[in-house]
Amino acid sequence: AAGVIQSPRHLIKEKRETATLKCYPIPRHDTVYWYQQGPGQDPQFLISFYEKMQSDKGSIPDRFSAQQFSDYHSELNMSSLELGDSALYFCASSLGRGGQYFGPGTRLTVT
């Protein structure tokens, strides 16, 4: 079965640079979620979109923004990167309030 696709899988950026992470949900899923996971930590919710509208907002810094496009893929834009932004970023998708299925993640390293 098709899964959530994330790109890139690895990304290295310097402080103060910008990064864009992409997420392609499971076909026919209408809801996308972004989570951040630090080393040895549990995933922390950042933001979600339902039918291209922002639905919930968690601990997402003001330096980050995200959107969901007409084809349901989503992008997480991160600006003025800080060392503390180094983490795994996961995208998950669901059909409405059904189970959330996670992608393989993007490992972001800020140097």
Partner 1 sequence: GENVEQHPSTLSVQEGDSAVIKCTYSDSASNYFPWYKQELGKGPQLIIDIRSNVGEKKDQRIAVTLNKTAKHFSLHITETQPEDSAVYFCAAPNNNAGNMLTFGGGTRLMVKP
Residues that bind partner 1 (CB under 8 A): 4, 31, 33, 42-45, 48, 55-56, 58, 90, 94, 97, 99-105
18 vs 38 by CB, closer to partner 1: 38
From the number of C-beta atoms within 10 Å of its C-beta (0-12, 13-18, 19+), residue 111 rates as exposed
Rounded to a whole number of angstroms, the minimum distance from the CB of residue 97 to partner 1 is 5
From the number of C-beta atoms within 10 Å of its C-beta (0-12, 13-18, 19+), residue 74 rates as buried
Rounded to a whole number of angstroms, the minimum distance from the CB of residue 80 to partner 1 is 25
